[in-house]
Structure 1
Amino acid sequence: MSAHESEWTLRRLRAGELAAAEAARVQAHAAGCETCAQALRGLDDAQARFEAEVPFERFEAGVERALQRQRRQDAARPPPRRWVATTVAIAASLLVVVLVRPLLTPDATSTEGLGLNRLKGGTAAELRIGGGLGPQREATPGTPEPLDPGERVMLGYKAGTHRYVAALSVDAIGEVSPLHPESGASAPVGPGSDQQWLPSGWEFTGSGAERVILVLSDEPLPMETLAEAARRAFEKADGEVVRMAPLEVPGEQTHWVLLKP
């Protein structure tokens, strides 16, 4: 058995994902182990550097302007057309992994549905991109967003009445990567009704499209169940990640598409 805690365990401690007894044990260990204490400080420093490069306050002002534009557009456009067939292909939004907006109901099947950013009960989701040479920005569900080299991603949400959150990504060849949490089941949402941010960040490597999916649910969903649902959706889309339909799982989903350089 290792004398030190794994990085995965320390990340879960920072994210508040450990049970109370386990969290107390790991904290006690880190208090007397300089190696693990230094690893925890390194995680804190990495998060602080990312937040310094992509300040939330400035971005939130842009988000509010975008929401106001969306409200005006929604008021001006006719009601979305409802499709009967469940096999209609959708140009969903894609994303990627270093730090990680609109939510999707499980039965939405149109491209417009992927552009929603608020659902019942005040639920919402957001994907921010930053850390590159240009200014930070928000990815719009339903619109593929090109990434520049070195850019990273953060995921935020308002859970509404939902109690659990999970995130995963699917790349152009169908490989599924759990983002938050990395294993187990979806994690409890953060306290309060304000915007919450997932504790980790992601920088996606390679090239091609990557779909990022955030799922809010009333009960915890095993990450393997979500991953298997993503694989089935990829197969039903004939291996075209940009055409994947919503996952067949309970809860509300948001999908983004990122185009890696």
Structure 2
Amino acid sequence: MSAHESEWTLRRLSAGELTATEAARVQAHAASCEACAQALRGIHEAQARFEADVPFERFEAGVEQALRRRQDAARPPPRRWVATTVAIAASLLVVVLVRPLLGSSAESRDTVGLNRLKGGATAELRIGGGLGPQREAIPGRPEAIDPGERVMLGYKAGAHRYVAALSVDAIGEVTPLHPEDGASAPVAPGSRLHWLPGGWEFTGSGAERVIVVLSDEPLPQETLVEAARRAFAQADGDVGRMAELEVPGAQTHWVLRKP
């Protein structure tokens, strides 16, 4: 057994998700353990940076922008996700999650701080809104989302030049998220974290796999959609067990559990 609290436990403490008894125990441990105290400070600092970089007004404006794009396209929205203009309560802060992009089956994960792939590529999935507490979605660990909660996706491209995002639901239906058609989009200039325009609310029930792909060349959405369908079939129709897509580039996957 480790002498330190896990990063997951410390993040749950920061998000207010532990019981009073468990929170008191973890706080007492962090008060006497410099490593855990430093990790907890890092979590708080990451949240503060997020609030400064992406205030809720900007989150909501991005969702409204996504709605306008869909209305301008004059086509019915996909069955499973819709953009929304519901205001996000200021007390329900979105939590930062940074995940290494998986360029191969070998995975490197720091116990504290950012997870990075060679070249500095990272991806983030952030959840906000709804009535529940703030929390993070960790790749490899399904995360339940409540009605009304919304997702934002961010990335640092590293050496990659193009970005795309898509999702797969429990029956294998694939929806391109960004861009909605064409090929993967050029990454934004600069090395800072960039956010995909808009936000998404996933409706319905069951699991939803969200995937971000960074690549050196543009990938047609049709190629990504077909690769996702093949991965779903190879997983015997279990979206939670899907492997990486058979496409070039670096990938990050999250699994969300809808009510």
Tell me the residue number matched to 2:16: none
Separation of aligned partners in 2, 1:234 and 1:215? 17
Question: Residue by residue, what CA displacement relative to the aligned partner does 1:164-212 show, whole Å, maximum 9, x if unpaired?
Answer: 1000000000000000000000001112111100002111111000000
Question: Residue by residue, what CA displacement relative to the aligned partner does 1:114-134 show, whole Å, maximum 9, x if unpaired?
Answer: xx9421111101101111113
Aligned residues: 180
Separation of aligned partners in 1, 2:185 and 2:248? 15
Q: Are the equivalent residues in 2 in contact too, given 1:103–1:255 (CA < 8 A)? A: no
Normalising by structure 2, we get a TM-score of 0.62
1:109 positional shift: 7.4
Tell me the residue number matched to 1:212: 210
Separation of aligned partners in 2, 1:163 and 1:138? 27
Separation of aligned partners in 2, 1:49 and 1:176? 24
Secondary structure at 1:229 match in 2? helix
Separation of aligned partners in 2, 1:183 and 1:193? 26
Structure 2 residue 145 is matched with structure 1 residue 134: no
Which of 113, 118, 121 is 1:120 aligned to? 118
* Identity, % of aligned positions: 72
Secondary structure at 2:119 match in 1? helix
> Which structure 1 residue ranges, 5 or more long, are not aligned?
1-6, 13-34, 37-46, 67-100
Separation of aligned partners in 2, 1:193 and 1:117? 16
Please report the RMSD computed on the Cα atoms of aligned residues, expressed in angstroms: 3.2
Separation of aligned partners in 2, 1:107 and 1:138? 24
Alignment of structure 1 residues 159-178 onto 2, 5 Å: 159-178=157-176
Alignment of structure 1 residues 1-261 onto 2, 5 Å: 11=69, 53=88, 59=94, 63=96, 101-108=98-105, 117-261=115-259
Q: Are the equivalent residues in 1 in contact too, given 2:84–2:200 (CA < 8 A)? A: no
Q: Are the equivalent residues in 2 in contact too, given 1:211–1:242 (CA < 8 A)? A: yes
Separation of aligned partners in 1, 2:191 and 2:240? 32
> Which structure 2 residue ranges, 5 or more long, are not aligned?
1-64, 73-82
Q: Are the equivalent residues in 2 in contact too, given 1:128–1:136 (CA < 8 A)? A: no
1:48 positional shift: 11
Greater RCO between the two (CA within 8 Å, min separation 6)?
A: 1
Separation of aligned partners in 2, 1:148 and 1:172? 17
Runs of 4+ with >3 A deviation = 47-50
Secondary structure at 2:256 match in 1? strand
